[in-house]
Amino acid sequence: GSGRFADRSQLLPPALQHDSIGPLLIADIDGDGDQDIILGDRKGVHVLRNDGGNAHLAMRVQLTTLGLGSGKNNSFGIGASLEVRAGELYETRVVTEPVTHFGLGSHFKADVLRVQWPNGVPQTIYFPGTDQDVLELQQLKGSCAFLYTWNGKNFEFVTDMMWRSALGMPLGIMGGNAAYAPAGASQEYIRIPGAALQPRNGRYVLQVTEELWETAYLDQLRLLAVDHPDSVDVFVDERFPPASGGLRLFQIVHQRPPLAAVDEHGDDVLADLREHDDRYVSNLTPQRYQGITEPHELILDLDPDAGRPGTLLLLRGWIYPSDASINVALSQQHTLRSELPALDVRDARGRWVAARTSVGFPSGKDKTVVIDLAGMFPTHDHHLRLRTNLQIYWDQAFVADDVNGGAVKRQLRRSDGQETTAAVTRMTTLSPTSGDLHFRGFSRMYRRGGRYGPHWFDYDSVTKESPWRSITGAATRFGDVAPLLENSDDQYVVMVPGDEVTVEFDAPADAPPPGWTRTFLLYSDGWIKDSDLNTADGTTIGPLPYHAIKAYPYASGDAYPADSARQRYLRQYNTRVIKPLPHPGVREER
């Protein structure tokens, strides 16, 4: 036809042609596979049954969301968009009721059904049935950029990074008023075990990838090589929110597990916490929303020396976080709220009282929270209670003495045979020697440690096909990006799903002396923006963040700097323009 609407009211029964029509509903009321019409006028309700409309085939799609432990979308996916392709036929619908009808013409069945759930996450079903029930997938879509390192044999996944940024993340939307997370950059240090990073041809090689539905803005990288005696281990506090800015290196000795550990039911969980072995305290009961569980407790009995100056409690584990859509849903109800971990100790009467310190939670996968125990216990009772309803899985808990904290009584032997109680470390800061941005794809995802372990990634198993909708805008062009990683200057590598930047650092000429070992810290500066439809400007690369930003979305007066250096950077580097895909089955050009 001409693409214009035509008046077809003469097809109505004569009694209805001269009356105003009220509510109208289109549905397959007799279950014969074609659409009937129900309408009302001043005389009542009328049914216009479609007889013979089922001469061609059709399909019915019913969406079902996950129950406990998700809560990202409404029960029937109302508001989702559906796209169907059958040969040359292409149709799209917005879900407004539990069952959505598609005509297939002369085609026996559809070739592909693509769902975009209300939170924006896509899901594709190839060769769907004519009565297709679509169950929402439990899918990790946002968790920050990934870090892989060369371990001497292959690249292994270490952890996620830039977790301290949540650009445009809604904290709640009530009555049309939205509150968003702070827009500051993530400036963090993460620990890399020495065995996970070995030189290749004289260089340390790291892969930073963007594989989830988000945009990464990577502004600066530094690798710190920390040499220390075998008898000393080194950690940084990887909690969120951070306890302090800058680098604080904990050099620890005399690691020992708790004397006892039980949960809120009194069940013994000490065996789960003795070693860093992917065996987690996992007896959590999920609530409706991902990231929220029934309140749970971890009660530790620590040794008599715990609480002296220089004693630390180190907790290693991971968190399954909420996301933008869940934050919005939580803000629109009053029965559930997230409760940050709280720490309690016992007073002289044996009652639990709040400790004088904050805890935070692990900032992602396989992270360490360091808690200063000095002066924490008011009595000789060294029981400690950690309580929250966040979905946190603890892998290891131990007490240790900080070499610089005043609690170390025994002597440490230096490499020259002399004794010292001072911290003996040698730290070398390395800048990137090279950086290359390119398309790589998406690693196979699995759960490390089984059902309750974190999502982990196999670098050697990769697919080029993206599971995500395009994030549109101007990303950084492929090729040399080393100059962009040198300084914290708002001239960063813009990465979208599937991108990888290979970064190399020259290994120090001097190896650790005998009796010493090397651990690494990676410093990163940048932002992460989730592409959830409830994230501010989540589906586009811009507006761009910068270090002097007040808020995101931009507050009054906010604008990416217009000086000549930054404008030259945009023209020179951010020239890879990404456009939305027109319909299912079309692959993004790179």
Tell me the three state secondary structure of residue 156.
strand
- Structure token digits, residue 68: 């406990």
Instruction: Judge contact between 284 and 297, C-beta under 8 A.
Output: no
- Greatest pairwise CA separation for the chain in angstroms: 107
14: left (phi over 0), alpha (psi -120 to 50) or beta: alpha
Handedness of CA 73, 77, 80, 83 (dihedral sign): positive
Query: Using CA atoms, how far apart are residues 420 and 231, in angstroms rounded to an integer?
Result: 13
Residue 410: HSE in the Cβ half-sphere, 13 Å Cα cutoff: 8
| C-alpha 412 chain-centroid distance | 41
Length of the chain: 590
The total of other beta-carbon atoms located within 10 Å of residue 464's CB is 11
- Residue 271 DSSP class: H
Per residue of the chain (590 residues), give pLDDT as tens.
566 888 877 777 776 666 666 667 777 777 776 778 887 777 778 787 877 666 667 888 888 877 665 677 777 888 888 999 988 889 898 998 888 888 888 888 888 898 888 877 888 888 888 787 777 676 666 668 999 999 999 999 999 999 999 999 998 655 556 789 999 999 999 999 999 999 999 999 999 999 999 999 999 999 999 999 999 999 999 999 888 778 999 999 999 999 999 999 999 999 999 999 999 999 899 888 888 899 999 999 999 999 999 999 999 999 998 888 888 888 888 888 889 999 999 999 999 999 988 899 999 999 999 999 999 999 999 999 999 999 999 999 999 999 987 544 344 444 443 333 345 689 999 999 999 999 999 999 998 988 888 889 999 999 998 888 899 999 999 999 999 999 999 999 999 999 999 999 999 999 999 999 999 999 999 999 999 888 999 999 999 999 999 999 999 999 999 999 999 999 999 999 999 866 544 445 45
Which domains are seen in the chain, by residue range?
9-135 (no CATH), 143-232+427-590 (no CATH), 247-424 (2.60.120)
Query: Using CA atoms, how far apart are residues 56 and 33, in angstroms rounded to an integer?
Result: 9
Per DSSP, helices labelled H in 455-584 are 564-573
- Residue 51 DSSP class: S
Query: Using CA atoms, how far apart are residues 382 and 363, in angstroms rounded to an integer?
Result: 27
- Residue 53 DSSP class: G
- Residue 268 DSSP class: B
Per DSSP, helices labelled H in 223-304 are 270-273
In the chain, DSSP finds a helix count (H) and a strand count (E) of 4, 41
Instruction: Judge contact between 412 and 403, C-beta under 8 A.
Output: yes
- Structure token digits, residue 398: 């131990």
Residue spans of beta strands (DSSP E) within 106-259: 112-116, 122-126, 131-135, 145-150, 155-161, 170-174, 177-180, 186-192, 203-209, 214-229, 233-235, 239-240, 250-256
Per DSSP, helices labelled H in 204-252 are none
Q: What is the pLDDT of residue 415?
A: 40
HEC assignment per residue over 320-382: CCCCHHHHHHHHCCCCCCCCCCEEEEECCCCCEEECCCCCCEECCCCEEEEEECCCCCCCCCC
460: part of which helix (H) or strand (E)? strand 455-463
Residues 6+ apart with CB under 8 A from 148: 155, 156, 157, 158, 206, 207, 208, 209, 457, 459
Residue 158 to residues 47, 106, 217, Cα–Cα distance (Å): 62, 52, 20
